[in-house]
Amino acid sequence: AGLALGELRSLADLYDIQALATLFFIGIVSVTPTLMNKTDTSP
Q: What is the C-alpha separation between 20 and 11, in angstroms, rounded? A: 14
* 17 or 40, which is more confident: 17
Q: What is the pLDDT of residue 32?
A: 92
* 37 or 11, which is more confident: 37
Q: What is the C-alpha separation between 2 and 17, in angstroms, rounded? A: 23
pLDDT band for position 26 (50/70/90)? very high
**Residue ranges per domain, the chain?**
1-43
Q: Does the predicted model carry a pTM greater than 0.75?
A: no
Q: What is the pLDDT of residue 25?
A: 96
pLDDT band for position 2 (50/70/90)? low
